[in-house]
Amino acid sequence: MKYIDIDVFVHNDSTKLMNNLDMQFDLDTCDVKQIRLYDITYIMPYEENGKLYTQIFTHSQGLVSPIPYDEFKIIANVLLK
């Protein structure tokens, strides 16, 4: 079975609190965790504060990776072929 190990942004205690209080926070304040994906439905560019990232959709969940979209396309194309 093919898979890809990729870094994604995840909440930490601080961003969880801000999210629960409906406060805005930058992705840069989140932690980064490596996850393994076996299925990617689609990807798209994501930009925040002038920084380029990749938004990944798998089934009904959306994730954001700190890897720029153009770089992510190359990585995914090589690893998921």
58 burial type by CB count under 10 A (0-12 exposed, 13-18 middle, 19+ buried): middle
Identify the residue whose tokens are 């994906």: 37
What is the pLDDT at residue 21? Answer: 96
What domain range includes position 12? 4-80
**Count of the separate structural domains present in the chain:** 1
Q: What secondary structure, in 3-state letters, does 2-53 show?
A: CCEEEEEEECCHHHHHHHHCCCCCCHHHCEEEEEEECCCCEEEEEEECCEEE
pLDDT per position as a tens digit, 21-63: 999 999 999 999 999 998 899 999 999 999 999 999 998 899 9
Tokens of 81: 């072929």
Could you tell me which residue, 81 or 67, shows the higher pLDDT? 67
**pTM for the full model?**
0.87
What is the pLDDT at residue 39? Answer: 87
